[in-house]
């Protein structure tokens, strides 16, 4: 599960530069493409949704894995012998 959460976080972070490029007022890639305003706007919304969903999935899985109330979870008790 941790590997899947890491990959979700990687997908979210990887899509951020594309999201910033597409959300700019003067769309930097506009001169390389012949798109109207509507098509990049639709793609920008889709990339934004992917970023949000993957970031929430990343957070949710790690919140579950590192939960101190999870039965048998002793990850947070690693430093207990040092006290």
What pLDDT, on the 0 to 100 scale, is given for residue 82? Answer: 54
What pLDDT, on the 0 to 100 scale, is given for residue 1? Answer: 84
Sequence-distant (6+) residues with CB within 8 A of 28 are 21
What pLDDT, on the 0 to 100 scale, is given for residue 74? Answer: 63
Low-confidence ranges of the chain (pLDDT < 70): 68, 70-83
C-alpha dihedral, 33 to 38 to 41 to 45, nearest 10°: -130
Model pLDDT for residues 13-33, shown as the tens digit of each residue: 999 998 888 877 777 777 777
């Amino acid at each position: 599960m941790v590997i899947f959460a890491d990959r979700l976080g990687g997908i979210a972070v990887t899509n951020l530069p594309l999201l910033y490029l597409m959300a700019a007022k003067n769309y930097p890639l506009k001169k390389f493409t012949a798109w109207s305003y509507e098509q990049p706007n639709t793609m920008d919304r889709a990339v934004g949704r992917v970023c949000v969903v993957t970031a929430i999935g990343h957070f949710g899985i790690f919140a579950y894995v590192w939960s101190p109330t999870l039965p048998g979870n002793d990850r947070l008790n690693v430093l207990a012998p040092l006290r």
